[in-house]
Amino acid sequence: MQIQCPSCHTKLQLGQPKPGRYKPTCKKCGNPFLVSISGDDPPAVRVEKVVQADGGRAKESGSNQKTVAEGAASRTKAALDQTIEQTAPQSIRQPDQSASPRPTTSASVSRAVAPVGRAAPPDDDGLDATSYSAGKDDSDGFDEGITAAPSRLGGYRIIRMLGRGAMGAVYQAKQISLDRDVALKTIRGRLAENPSSLARFTREAYAAAQLSHHNVVQIYDFGEDDGQHFFSMEWVRGGSLGDLVREKGSIDPKLAATYILQAARGLQFAHRSGMIHRDVKPANLLLSEDGVVKVADLGLVKVPDQVETEWSGGDLSGDEPAVAGLQSGTQVTMQGTAVGTPAYMAPEQSADASSVDHRADIYSLGCSLFYLLAGRSPYSGSLVSEVIEQHARAPLPNLAEINSRVPEPLCRIVAHAMAKRPADRYASLAEMIGDLQSFLGVESMTGFSPSSDQADRWEKIAGSYSKSQTLTRLSGTLLITLAAVSILITMVSPFISLAAILVGPTFFLAACVVAIVMAATNGKSAVAYQVRRWYETLSWLEIAAGLFASVVVLLVTLATGLWIGALVGLLFGAVVGAAYHFGITATAAKSGSESMEQARRFLRDLRLEGADENGIRMFLARYAGKGWQTIYEALFGYDALVETRQRLSTDSSFQGPTDARSIRDRVCQWLRLKTQSNREAKNREKLAKLEQNSLISQGVRESDAREQAWQMASAIMETAQIAVEQTASDDKVIAEAKRQRIKAMLADARSGRYKRTRDRFAPVKFALSGFTRLLVGCLLLAAFAFAAKSSGLLSEEMVSSVRRGDLQSLPGDATTDALGGSTSVWSVGIAGCLLCLSAFVSGWRMTPFAFVATVVILFGASFGIPDIAVPGIGQAKAWMVAAAAGVIVYLPGILIGEEKR
C-alpha cells in the first residue's frame, strides 16, 4: 500500500499497520504528518498535515514555510477548479430565464482526480492534498484517504488508483480480454446502497455508453463483481487542455479555437442525443496524442425526463467535511442541487442543475475557451460563493486586454457563449460551431473540401504506403493455397499411414493461429481482436463446454494413436505461420512505417486546422486510390473501416472498392454478430436485475417485479438505440423530439403499456442450439474412444499396422452395443465428429437436420441400408453408405441453419 507525504507529495510505502492514528515523518522533506487507518477490510487510509493548536499548519523547513493565509488562498484556488455538488436552499426555485439567478453561497468540493484516460503527473499521482465540502460524508471519516485498491474487478486488472471520492474510486485498469487500458470507475456509498438510485444511475451510464463519437470519451461497459458496481471508459493517451495551459500558458488563438471546435462537435452529438454534460471545463477536455480532443465525463450527465426525484440516505447539505464526488464521476442530479465546477459554471446552474438545458454547456465551453486564450479562468475570488456571484452579475473581463493576440472575432465568440442570460447565448452549439469554423476558415460543418496541395500530398503518401504493402495482398492467395495443401495432405495420408490423418487439419489450424497471434502482439490482427471481443461475451457454461470438448478431442486423439500425426502437423504449421509473420506481416509493417508516420502527421495537421473528423475520413478514403482500405485500416482500425465501407457503398460517386468478400471479412462479420447478440443478452440481464431490485425496494412483489424489470430493461435498451433525427437544423428541436420519444416509451414501460413479448420458445431453441450439438458430439466421440479400446481397435498390434499404412488389417465390421443396438464403432466416431463441426452453425434450424443425419449414420445399417459395390474400389459396407447419406442430409442444414440477425 502506498501513501503520499502531504507536504512534498513523495510516495511512501506503507506496510500492514494496525487500525489507529499515527504520526510518522517523511524521509524526504522531514515533515511530520498524520495517518489514520480504519478497521475496515480493506482499510481506509487518511493522510493529512499536522495542524498546530493555533490553527496553522506545522512549520515547514527552509524557505518553503507557508502562512495560514497563503494556504487558505491556495485551497480556495483548488476549490474553484473542482466539481461541486451541493443542495441549494429551498428558497431557490427554477430561475427566470429573463433574469440572472441568485447563486448559492456554499459548495462541496471533491478531491482532485486525474482526468479519465490520463496518467497523473508522477509527483502528485493525480491527488490534491486538500479537500473541502459542505455536505455530509458516508465514508466514516476516511473520505480523503487512499484505500487499498482491489487487484481485480470483473474482467479488469487494477493497475493503480487515480482518485477517490464519496461516490467511489477511479482506477487505471487493464481489460484482460482485449489487453487494453481503461479508466474504471466504482460506485459506493449512498448510491450503491439505494437500489432505486443505483438503477437510475445505471440507466444514465448505459445511455452515455451509446454515445459513439470521435470527440467523446467512450464508455465501454458496466458490471458488478462481489457487490462492487463499476463501469469502464476509454483511456485517452495524452493530457487535458487544463494541463496544457498550466504547462505552457495561454494557447495560440487559432489552436485554441480548433480545440474548442472539436469539443463543441462532441457536445453537440451529446445534446442531439438528449444529454447535457453540466461539468464542461478544460480538465474534462482531453487531448490525445493524435491531436483529437475528447469530452470526458459524459457519464456525469442529465438525461432529461428520466431523472426521478426520490433520494434516501440523509441530507446532503451539512457542515461536516466530505468529498462530494469524483471530478470525473457520474452523479444523479436532484432538484435544487448545484453540480458543476464554480470557475466554469453557468449562472443558472448554481441555482438548480436539474433544470438547466444545453445552453449551460455552451456557457461552460465559452469559459473554457476564455481559459485557453487568457491562461486563467474568467473570474476569481477568495470564496467559491464570490466566484459564483461574479458569474451571475460581474461583466466579462476584457479578453483583448488580457491577451492582445486574441482577434476581435474570437473575443465576440467568447462573449456570445458567456452571456449571463441563457436567451442571449448561442441558441445551439450548431451556431457556435459555425462561428468557430468561419473564424478558422473551415467551409463546411459536416464535410471537408481539401486544397489541391492537400489532395496531392495525400495521394502521394497513400500511393507510397500502398506500394510498401504489396506482399500483404498475397494473403488471400496464400490462405487458399494453405487450405488446398492441407486438404491434399489429409487425402493422401491414409494411403501412407492412418496415424497421419490429422497432419493436414492440424497443419492448417496451427499455421493460421500462429500467424494471427503473432500479428496480434503488434495490434495488427482484426481477427484476433474480434475473437477476443467474442470470448469476452461468453458465459462460464459456454467456456466450460468448449474446454470439455477440447479435452474429449485430446483424449480421443491420444487413445486412437493419432497424436503423433497431430503433433507433426502442429509443428510444421507453427513454422509456416511464423514464416508468414516475419516474411510478410512484419516486413510490410517495417517497409510502410515511414509512410505511415507521414500519414499520421498529415492527419494531425488536418485536425489542427479544424476540419470535421467525418469529413477528414471521407477525404482520406476517396483520395487514397483503389488500395484505400489498407491505409485506412492502419490509421483508424478495422471497425472504422467497416463503418466507412457501409457509408461509401451507398455513394454512387465513389468508384473505389467497398466489398467485404474476403475470408477475413466473413470471419470478422460472423464474430461481430455473435458478439453483438451475446452482449445485448448480457446487458439486458444486468439492467433487469438492477431494475428488479429497485422495484422490490419500492414494495412491488418479486414475481411482478421480475416481469416489469425485463420490460424496463428492454425499454432502456430500445430508447438508447433511437436514431438521432438530423433533418432539423435546431439542436434543441432535435433533442426535444428524442426526449419525448424516450419519455413516452419509459412511461409506457413503467405503467405496463410497453410490451416486448418474450420468446416463449427460447428454452427449446437453446436445447436445439449448436451448444447442445457440441456436447452430444463430444459424448459420442468419448463413446467411440471407449468402444474402440474395448473392441481391440486400439490394441498395440492394430495401431502398429495402421501406422504402417496397412489398412487391410483394419476391421471394418467392429460393432458396439453402447447405444442400445448393434452399431458400427466407426459410425459412432463419424457421427460425433460431424455433430461437433455442426456446432459452428449457431441456429437451431440446423439441429433437425443434424438429428436425422446422426440417426441415419448410427442406425442406417439396422434400418436396412445395404452394402454397395463401388466399381474400381470394392464393396462399400452399409455403415459407410449410411455415413455418406448422413453427410448429404447435413448439407441443407448448413445452408439454412445459421441464425439470422
Give the whole-angstrom CA distance, residue 640 versus residue 618.
11
C-alpha–C-alpha distance, residues 502 and 568, integer Å: 9
**pLDDT recorded at residue 336:** 41
Question: What is d(CA 223, CA 619) in angstroms, rounded to the nearest whole number?
Answer: 39
What does residue 339 show for φ and ψ, rounded to 5 degrees?
Answer: -130, 130
- Residue 833 CA to residue 778 CA, distance in Å, equals 8
Distance CA 417, CA 182 (A): 33
The per-residue pLDDT for 556 is 80
- What's residue 103's pLDDT? 38
Q: Residue type at 845?
A: R
**130's grid cell:** 486538500
The CA–CA distances, whole Å, from 815 to 59, 499, 553, 561 equal: 93, 21, 21, 20
Diameter of the chain measured on Cα atoms: 110
The Cα-based distances of 822 to 424, 819, 851, 854, 887 in angstroms read 89, 8, 19, 15, 21
Contact (CB, 8 A) for 436 and 610? yes
Residue at grid coordinates 485551497: 75
β-strands 285-288, 238-240: how paired?
antiparallel
Question: Exposure string (b/e) for 686-705, b if CB count within 10 Å is 16 or more?
Answer: bbbbbbbbbbbbeeeeeeeb
Q: How far is CA 19 from the centre of its chain?
A: 38
| CA pair distance 87, 348, nearest whole angstrom | 14
Instruction: Give the three cell numbers for residue 603.
Output: 492527419
The answer to whether the CB of 681 falls within 8 A of the CB of 759 is no
C-alpha dihedral over 417, 422, 427, 431, to 10 degrees? 0
Q: Determine the Cα–Cα distance for residues 306 and 783; give it in Å rounded to an integer.
A: 57
Superfamily holding 75-85+105-440:
Transferase(Phosphotransferase) domain 1 (1.10.510.10)
Domain ranges of the chain: 2-66, 75-85+105-440, 452-469+593-659, 471-591, 677-751, 762-896
156-164 and 219-225 strand pairing: unpaired
Selecting among 279, 297, 435, 731, the annotated active-site residue is: 279
Is residue 288 classed as helix, strand or coil in its secondary structure? Answer: strand
Cell numbers for 558: 491420444
279 is catalytic: yes
Which pLDDT score is estimated for 900?
A: 58
The pTM of the full predicted model, rounded to 2 decimals, is 0.71
As given in the structure block, the three cell numbers for residue 328 are 470525473
In this structure, the number of other CB atoms found within 10 A of the CB of residue 398 comes to: 10
Amino acid 325: pLDDT: 28
CA-to-CA dists, residue 714 to 205, 376, 479, 687, 725, angstroms:
16, 46, 43, 9, 21
Q: Which residue has the cell 506481416?
A: 585
Residue 811: strand, helix, or coil: coil
Residues in the chain, pLDDT under 50: 52-73, 85-147, 300-338, 724-728, 807
Secondary structure, 3-state, 66-107: CCHHHHHHHHHHHHHCCCEEEECCCCCCCCCCCCCCCCCCCC
What does each C-alpha distance from 778 to 539, 560, 835, 894 come to in angstroms? 19, 15, 8, 20
- pLDDT for position 809: 54
CA distance 265 to 437: 11
- pLDDT in the model for residue 206: 83
Q: Are 709 and 244 in contact (CB under 8 A)?
A: no
Q: Where are the beta strands (DSSP E) in 770-845?
A: 815-816, 823-824
Helices (H), 273-407: 358-374, 384-393, 399-402
Distance of alpha carbon 185 from alpha carbon 841, whole angstroms: 38
Integer Rg of the chain from CA: 33
Q: Mind listing the pLDDT tens digit for each residue in 724-770?
A: 444 445 566 666 666 666 666 666 666 666 666 666 777 777 778 88
